[in-house]
């Protein structure tokens, strides 16, 4: 997987990285599939009870959460709902940008996390996300319009740079990858609690 840290910390823009590495549709599909496969591997050995296990997270802080949930630890199902929504948003934006639409809205939908309660539901959500991301990539024209960038705030652009189609896809994926350690920790806590 790509080391996204320089991009997330603003040392290198996502667009500059994508241009430098000549990241195209096939590369994005491979990276997305690699991430989905990693997340599926985290299900190994888990039970349905582990998916809804409430982890301890002293750093939990979500100012956008519904009232009363701003500082709760996110369970496995919650994390999967969250990260897949971000990657799908990036993929949707990439589709628009590749076709010359300088998207200004956020085409984001997050599956209600409380609806994800079983290993089978996590697996279904991940495979659905894989299908959706790959479908968005299939909407790219043969020659994507790489000069079209998102119509987004100056503050966002100052931090992450302009976002064209490959950059938007990578941005969503970087958010997913950024939650890997949290997902692994929730998995660890759930298994430890179950083993006693």
- What's the whole-number mean pLDDT along residues 135-160? 95
CB-based burial, 136-162: b 16+ in 10 Å, e otherwise = bbeebeeebbbebbbebeeeeeeebbb
Q: How many domains does the chain have?
A: 1
Please state, in angstroms and rounded to a whole number, the distance separating the CA atoms of residues 161 and 92: 19
Task: Give the pLDDT of residue 13.
Answer: 95
Residue-level pLDDT at 155: 92
DSSP per-residue string spanning the chain = ----HHHHTTSS-HHHHHHHTT--HHHHHHHHHHHHHHHHHTTTT--HHHHT-----TT---TTSPTT-TTPPP-HHHHHHHHHHHHHHHHHHHHHHHTT----S-------GGG--SHHHHHHHHHHHHHHHHHHHHTS-SS--TT------HHHHHHH----HHHHHHHHHHHHHHTHHHHHHHHHHHHHHHH-
Work out the pLDDT band at 105, boundaries 50, 70, 90: confident
pLDDT at 196 over 80: no
pLDDT at residue 58 is higher than 90: no
CA torsion through residues 189, 191, 193, 195, sign: negative
Domain range spanning residue 72?
5-195
Q: What is the mean pLDDT of residues 18-29?
A: 96
Please report which confidence band the pLDDT of residue 104 belongs to, taking 50, 70 and 90 as the band edges. Answer: confident
> Residue 25 pLDDT more than 80?
yes
pLDDT for 186 beyond 80: yes
Tell me what pLDDT residue 30 has. 98
Does pLDDT of 191 surpass 80?
yes
Residue identified by tokens 């894989």 is 130
More confident residue, 31 or 61: 31
Residue 75, pLDDT > 90, answer: yes
Q: Please, what is the average pLDDT of the chain?
A: 95
Question: What CATH number does the domain containing 82 carry?
Answer: 1.20.120.450
pLDDT surpasses 90 at 23:
yes
């Amino acid at each position: 997987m790509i080391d996204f840290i320089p991009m997330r910390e603003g040392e290198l823009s996502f667009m500059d990285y994508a241009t430098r590495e000549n990241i195209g549709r096939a590369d994005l599909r491979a990276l997305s599939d690699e991430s989905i496969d990693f997340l599926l591997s985290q299900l190994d050995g888990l039970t349905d009870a582990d998916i809804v296990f409430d982890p301890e997270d002293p750093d939990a802080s979500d100012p956008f959460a519904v009232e009363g949930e701003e500082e709760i630890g996110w369970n496995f199902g919650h994390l999967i709902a969250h990260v897949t929504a971000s990657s799908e948003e990036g993929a949707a934006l990439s589709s628009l940008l590749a076709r010359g639409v300088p998207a200004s809205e956020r085409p984001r939908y997050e599956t209600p996390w409380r609806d994800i309660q079983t290993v089978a539901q996590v697996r279904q959500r991940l495979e659905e996300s894989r299908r959706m991301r790959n479908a968005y990539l299939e909407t790219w024209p043969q020659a994507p319009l790489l000069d079209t960038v998102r119509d987004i705030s100056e503050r966002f652009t100052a931090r992450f740079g302009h976002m064209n189609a490959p950059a938007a896809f990578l941005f969503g994926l970087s958010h997913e990858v950024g939650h890997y350690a949290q997902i692994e920790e929730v998995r660890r806590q759930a298994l430890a609690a179950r083993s006693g």
